[in-house]
Structure 1
Amino acid sequence: MSVRPLRVGNASGFYGDRFAAMREMLDGGELDVLTGDYLAELTMLILGRDRLKDPARGYARTFLRQLEECLGGALERGVRIVTNAGGLNPAGLAERVRALAAELGVPARVAHVEGDDLVARAGELGLGAPIAANAYLGAWGIAACLREGADIVVTGRVTDASLVVGPAAAHFGWGPQEHDALAGAVVAGHVIECGTQATGGNYPFFADLQRDGHDLTRPGFPIAEILPDGSSVITKHPGTGGAVTVGTVTAQLVYEIAGPRYPGPDVTARLDTVRLEQQGPDRVRISGVRGEAPPPGLKVVCNGMTGFANEMTVVLTGLDVEAKAALVETQLRSALAGREPAHLSFRLTGHGDPDAETQQGAGRHLRIVARDTDPRKVGRAFSATAVELALATCPGFHATSPPGDARPDGLSIHVASVPADLVPHVAVLPDGTRLDIAPASVTRPLAELPAPAPPPPPPAGPTRSVPLGLLFGARSGDKGHDANVGVWAADDAAWSWLVHRLTVREFGRLLPETARLPVTRHVLPNLRAVNFVVEGLLAPGAGVNPRPDPQAKGLAEWLRGRRVEIPEVMVP
């Protein structure tokens, strides 16, 4: 069993991330393992469409192009590569990697993990008829491939953190019952899985980092130095941009989670036990993480196409904008009589001022979106009908684009749970041997933890109305139909205010769009954070919901911009 730290870097947080990151990470300093996370719920739909066009596709093709210029260097340095770029076709991508290695004349040992793809069994499992249905596998298939000497491991849909947990388990010889160590690696994996979000990217206090001398022009990608007990240090290569601070790590920790129990196929990590410590410049230690047996079921995400869509955006300027929008809607619905799409929405955005100094400032956008299962109802004829109104409608009418064709509509998401023993988990080793990976033998159903004792209430006295973001950081994102907003405080005084004042009711007051929906608040005292899960805000899914921010990435910044009453003694 090895006792030295394992240095795991990440070079991709999504399909479309910085192309040069793989080379930057390999050239920038010492690594043992380089991971690449290419998958998200929306990505699985994109890959599903690719597979419908060509059954040989269904994987992240960017990875191959990156590897073409990096494979030789990785093998020379002894860096092993673990990636979920296999998407819906890990076997196909693994074969392409072998062919690439042969073309380059390098002896790469390639393995892959499969079994997550349930689309052929969707009906028998009660999952409907999606174009993609994938269970979230764990880390043991990856670990088995690495133990058998793989240089490159390609997976399909595993949990994002498994890309880190698998190498750590193989390196340190952990077993399935070592829940605390596994949970520590899950937390490290969660921190680095989104790439530069851990090193200053998307950080709410980015201006503070800049004032402290950190260059955010091109943040470096993160590294987790994992220790034998599962604790870790988050860092980055020397001389790269960005910063690793308790704040940047906290921001990523509260991103797209739910409650204090963070479930996975191998372990449930207790996020309420996480402790962070700044050990030095760009070094944050994560310790104290406790783990529990995983739940008995595996998360399954099913993606489907809801039909076809088209849209037109019309600019309305000056006075009576609401009345102008109403006229456009009346005229367009009349013109489409008998062939109106099943779903036709009109959304007025912006806050134009008729007395603005510029014409752009005086305008607002009317976004018209049409959806139907029949592409003819939302094709070029639809958008042409909208443009035909130009000389017969409200004054100043103009569109932002010419008529366009229908496009396949985006994502409908159904999240389910399937018993783990119904999902195959197979490690296909470098020599072609197929090794079945058993599901967790000990499981524990998820249950809510009792609410922790709150700190003393904030001081009484005069208050001042200030933006919430003056004192508090926040980050938000999507989880299927739901939105997640994590909010944290930098010190104990602010934490006292946060936990007592930012209740579910106050959250709904500040963000009226959420007030009609079920909202759950979870408290994480060690991180001085609260996490809000807003159910249904993103329904029916990130690809098709009508919000201008369909993945809720800006929801946290809207919250931070809202004004609240803060005790004057706390205001900077």
Structure 2
Amino acid sequence: MIRIANCSGFYGDRLAAAREMVEGGPIDVLTGDWLAELTMLILAKDRQRDPTGGYARTFVTQMRQVMGACLARGIKVVANAGGLNPRGCADALRQVAAELGLSPVIAYVAGDDLTPRLEELRPLLTNMDTGEPLGDRPLLTANAYLGGWGITEALARGADIVVTGRTTDAALAIGPAAWHHGWARDDWDALAGALVAGHVIECGTQATGGNYAFFQEVPGLEHPGFPIAEIAADGSSVITKHTAHGGLVSVGTVTAQLLYEITGPRYLNPDVTARFDTIRLTQTGPDRVAVDGVRGEPPPPTTKVCLNLPGGHKASISFLLTGLDIPEKADLVTRTLKATLPDYAESEYHLIRSDHPDPDRNETAFAHFRVNLKDPDEKKFGRPLTAAITEMALAGYPGFFGGPITTQSYGIYWPALIPNALVTHEAVIAKTHIPIPPTP
């Protein structure tokens, strides 16, 4: 089997996790997931500030901590931390390696970025939730979800570190498992098993007790360990963690993560469709859950695309309401703002009743009134908004307290599908570009 360890569930996860997984016990591959859909928008803003950016810089920091140990122990590293700029991330890792006096073989996976082909693809990018055509809307990012075979190819050609952009989360496990076991493109059951294992560990400590409804059952949740998937040649696996690390691996924690982001029994990926209604879970020992019986089918004929559109600007204002007549005070704030402020594309007014009847102290006498505003026109924010709030200070409800106002730009997530044949997927190693054909 191959031991695939996770060290990140999102951009901003525990910085020490990579070192903890490398030093905590034997592993063969260190992986991590940095790319939520929101993260692509964050990286787009980063790239606007610095054209050489657009990748997860924390990953580079982690690799500075563990690169030498990984090379010494033969641990491969596979991460989607390349974000919008996998080549730039690979270059940053090469610089770190040079500073440390190391010579790893670093590869990256490309082809997910569709922005250079937008005019060709734009008519196809219909919103898969609403059916709305994209039209001529401006875009910040457009990335196809690639599968794991580019990772497999890079590892087969001797890569020590493989950096990807927008791959599927499970591809980080499928790619190394297929390389280690020599699977064919149509070994559906084995690939589906690796997909399930990858799905379990992709969110890091969510598989070891984090965000778990029965969290009181979890020991050491103050600092849970990250998960490991031991994937066998037939695709079956054991989900576990390093023995000395906190947290819990149980049928319950694994089930909770399996159901995360799932809409039905068929889980679609570019490499394989996994039948989640065939999964068997068995507790085989402390912090060891066997996953087997997984059946696989060919992947769908389309590839999912993550697009981020500029949405405009938004502001959120909180008012503290105290004492008596809470609903009437909220109504007065609403009437005042609607009479004072310009019209916004979207406006929401929420009364949050955190106060108690007949409170015995101030802390239980407070309610919150939240106002959320969105509009493409930045001029509607700033001074017009702050002035309207400030002028209520002596002219509004008794006990007035309003603020702070937080204003920021926001993006719109737009999911779409394109035919697999239109996706350009390639592994790049030693300046050689190896095309990866789509799975039929």
For normalisation by structure 1, the TM-score amounts to 0.73
For residues 66 and 364 of structure 1, the distance between their equivalents in structure 2, rounded to whole angstroms, comes to: 43
Instruction: For residue 360 of structure 1, report the CA deviation from its aligned partner.
Output: 2.3
Q: How far does the alpha carbon of each residue in 1:456-481 deviate from its partner, in whole angstroms, 9 at most, with x for none?
A: xxxxxxxxxxxxxxxxxxxxxxxxxx
Q: How far does the alpha carbon of each residue in 1:426-470 deviate from its partner, in whole angstroms, 9 at most, with x for none?
A: 1001x11100000012xxxxxxxxxxxxxxxxxxxxxxxxxxxxx
Aligned position for 2:379: 376
Output aligned runs, 1:51-450, within 5 Å: 51-126=47-122, 127=125, 128=134, 129-209=138-218, 214-336=219-341, 339-401=342-404, 403=405, 406-409=407-410, 411-429=411-429, 431-441=430-440
For residues 281 and 321 of structure 1, the distance between their equivalents in structure 2, rounded to whole angstroms, comes to: 52
Aligned position for 1:41: 37
For residues 384 and 147 of structure 1, the distance between their equivalents in structure 2, rounded to whole angstroms, comes to: 63
Aligned position for 2:130: none
Aligned amino acid, residue 156 of structure 1: G
For residues 383 and 214 of structure 2, the distance between their equivalents in structure 1, rounded to whole angstroms, comes to: 45
Instruction: For residue 354 of structure 1, report the CA deviation from its aligned partner.
Output: 4.0
Aligned amino acid, residue 409 of structure 2: P
In structure 2, the gaps of 5 or more residues are: 126-133
For residues 116 and 397 of structure 2, the distance between their equivalents in structure 1, rounded to whole angstroms, comes to: 52
Instruction: For residue 400 of structure 1, report the CA deviation from its aligned partner.
Output: 4.3
Any conservation in 2 of the 1:275–1:286 contact (CA below 8 Å)? yes
Any conservation in 2 of the 1:181–1:230 contact (CA below 8 Å)? yes
Instruction: For residue 351 of structure 1, report the CA deviation from its aligned partner.
Output: 3.5
Q: How far does the alpha carbon of each residue in 1:20-66 deviate from its partner, in whole angstroms, 9 at most, with x for none?
A: 00000010000100001000011111111112222211111111111
* Identical counterparts, % of pairs: 54
Output aligned runs, 1:381-530, within 5 Å: 381-401=384-404, 403=405, 406-409=407-410, 411-429=411-429, 431-441=430-440
Root-mean-square deviation (Å): 1.2
For residues 336 and 284 of structure 2, the distance between their equivalents in structure 1, rounded to whole angstroms, comes to: 64
Deviates more, 1:121-130 or 1:14-23: 121-130
SS at match of 1:138: coil
Aligned pair partner of 1:17 in 13, 30, 33? 13
Any conservation in 2 of the 1:312–1:383 contact (CA below 8 Å)? no
SS at match of 1:307: strand
For residues 19 and 350 of structure 1, the distance between their equivalents in structure 2, rounded to whole angstroms, comes to: 37
For residues 174 and 68 of structure 1, the distance between their equivalents in structure 2, rounded to whole angstroms, comes to: 32
Any conservation in 2 of the 1:268–1:295 contact (CA below 8 Å)? yes
Instruction: For residue 216 of structure 1, report the CA deviation from its aligned partner.
Output: 1.4
Any conservation in 2 of the 1:311–1:383 contact (CA below 8 Å)? no
For residues 168 and 345 of structure 2, the distance between their equivalents in structure 1, rounded to whole angstroms, comes to: 36
Any conservation in 1 of the 2:320–2:400 contact (CA below 8 Å)? yes
Any conservation in 1 of the 2:114–2:142 contact (CA below 8 Å)? yes
For residues 353 and 110 of structure 2, the distance between their equivalents in structure 1, rounded to whole angstroms, comes to: 46
Aligned amino acid, residue 150 of structure 1: A
For residues 121 and 187 of structure 1, the distance between their equivalents in structure 2, rounded to whole angstroms, comes to: 32
Aligned amino acid, residue 77 of structure 1: R
SS at match of 1:177: coil
Any conservation in 2 of the 1:44–1:88 contact (CA below 8 Å)? yes
Aligned residues: 427
For residues 65 and 300 of structure 1, the distance between their equivalents in structure 2, rounded to whole angstroms, comes to: 29
Instruction: For residue 130 of structure 1, report the CA deviation from its aligned partner.
Output: 1.7
Cα pair distance change 1:74/1:384, threshold 3 Å: farther
Tell which has more relative contact order, 1 or 2 (C-alpha 8 A, sep 6+).
2
Q: How far does the alpha carbon of each residue in 1:500-536 deviate from its partner, in whole angstroms, 9 at most, with x for none?
A: xxxxxxxxxxxxxxxxxxxxxxxxxxxxxxxxxxxxx
For residues 353 and 238 of structure 2, the distance between their equivalents in structure 1, rounded to whole angstroms, comes to: 43
Cα pair distance change 1:29/1:380, threshold 3 Å: farther
Any conservation in 2 of the 1:122–1:130 contact (CA below 8 Å)? no
Any conservation in 1 of the 2:354–2:368 contact (CA below 8 Å)? no
Any conservation in 2 of the 1:370–1:378 contact (CA below 8 Å)? no
Instruction: For residue 85 of structure 1, report the CA deviation from its aligned partner.
Output: 0.3
For normalisation by structure 2, the TM-score amounts to 0.95
Any conservation in 2 of the 1:163–1:189 contact (CA below 8 Å)? yes
Any conservation in 2 of the 1:344–1:368 contact (CA below 8 Å)? yes
For residues 360 and 70 of structure 2, the distance between their equivalents in structure 1, rounded to whole angstroms, comes to: 56
Aligned amino acid, residue 433 of structure 1: T
Instruction: For residue 233 of structure 1, report the CA deviation from its aligned partner.
Output: 0.3
Any conservation in 1 of the 2:316–2:371 contact (CA below 8 Å)? yes
For residues 178 and 380 of structure 1, the distance between their equivalents in structure 2, rounded to whole angstroms, comes to: 61
